[in-house]
Amino acid sequence: MINQLIKLVEPKKLEINFEQLDLPQNNIIVKPVFMSICAADQRYYQGKRKKEILEKKLPLTLIHEAIGEIVYDPKKEFEVGTKVVLIPNTPYEEDEIIKENYRVTSKFRSSSCDGFMQSLIYMKRDRIIAIENIKPEIGSMLELISVSVNSIENFKEKAHSKKEKIAIWGDGSVAYITALILKAYFPNSKIIVLGVNREKLNYFSFVDETKMIDEIEKGFNVDHAFECVGGQGSESAIEQIINYINPQGTISLLGVSEEPPRINTRMILEKGLIILGNSRSGYQDFKKTIELLQDEKIQDYVDNIICDTININNLSDIYKAFEKDVNNDFKTVMKWNL
């Protein structure tokens, strides 16, 4: 059985590699069917990682957000054609305390190992979950949603019980999904979203309030905050959060920055704040995400941020998808026909 892997060999240059796949004894063969492009994939594709990182990582098969169909299961636990979500985090050791997505020995597809831009993929049995009643384009975003679920589960465990006002800094896909899931977890809390783009903030119709970051009124305060900005804007976002958060609040960080932001540790100490780092997700987060998406209303809101669905039949279509994604406000989905 011949497999095609699409490799990013240098920024904006893709190549097709071929490999022989034998029928596995334990693992399952899955054919990817829908994928979505993440900002992390774009940073590799556009060459916006540091030179030494690109030299270490490339060539690399991109994409870590995908669903697929079962092609072969030696144990016949999954029927051929069953739709499954593909979990990109792969743990290699057990730990009763450290979650699988934070273990240093875990591998993550499209970063420390090849991603899902392949015609066929070997998947471990505990790295797939069958999905039902979820639109496939939305299913391709399950990984993104599971990251927000992971952060909110961490928040539930660590934050104090006063949750009258929770704010999200950011107006992109991560902020949108995090705000949506926060509202599902805490329907009685006032959820506020702060951003820089008024048109994008209009998408957040399910929250209690939206604000432009340069229009925050005197006396504004929140009990807890989620930073979903990342990049160059993360430093100013974190600074604002520290200024406006109430004492002993929790700051959940989800934004990824290439350069380390400066943080006002004096005010963190003075207010007794908790800072929670959040990255990636694991099997249990995916299970909770699938349960949440059985609510059709949540699916409808997720559907609102799919900007394009592009049929992928050749390399040219992949280039087109990545270039279109740069100009999309939210998510680009690829229907994988290779």
Which residues lie below 8 Å from residue 296, measured CB to CB, with a gap of 6+?
none
pLDDT for position 267: 97
Is the residue at 298 inside a domain? no
Is the residue at 69 inside a domain? yes
With 0.85 as the threshold, say if the pTM is over it. yes
Is the residue at 290 inside a domain? no
Clarify whether residues 151 and 272 are in a common domain: yes
* Neighbour tally for 39: CB within 10 Å: 16
Clarify whether residues 134 and 106 are in a common domain: yes
Domain containing 220: what range? Answer: 146-277
Cβ atoms 40, 279 nearer than 8 A: no
pLDDT for position 301: 98
Is the residue at 286 inside a domain? no
Clarify whether residues 94 and 201 are in a common domain: no
User: For the chain, which ranges sit under pLDDT 50?
Assistant: none
Clarify whether residues 44 and 25 are in a common domain: yes
Clarify whether residues 151 and 261 are in a common domain: yes
- The mean of the pLDDT values for the chain is 96
Clarify whether residues 313 and 262 are in a common domain: no
Tens digit of each residue's pLDDT (9 = 90 or more) over 125-173: 999 999 999 999 999 999 999 999 999 999 999 999 999 999 999 999 9
Is the residue at 292 inside a domain? no
Is the residue at 268 inside a domain? yes
Clarify whether residues 80 and 44 are in a common domain: yes
Tens digit of each residue's pLDDT (9 = 90 or more) over 15-51: 999 998 888 788 999 999 999 999 999 999 999 999 9
pLDDT for position 81: 97
Q: Quote the DSSP letter at residue 125.
A: G
Clarify whether residues 127 and 172 are in a common domain: no
Clarify whether residues 31 and 72 are in a common domain: yes
Clarify whether residues 196 and 247 are in a common domain: yes
User: Considering its fold, how many domains does the chain have in total?
Assistant: 2
Name the nearest CA neighbour of 319 among 86, 117, 59: 117
Angle at 15 between CA 61 and CA 83, to 5 degrees: 45
CATH of the domain at 166: 3.40.50.720
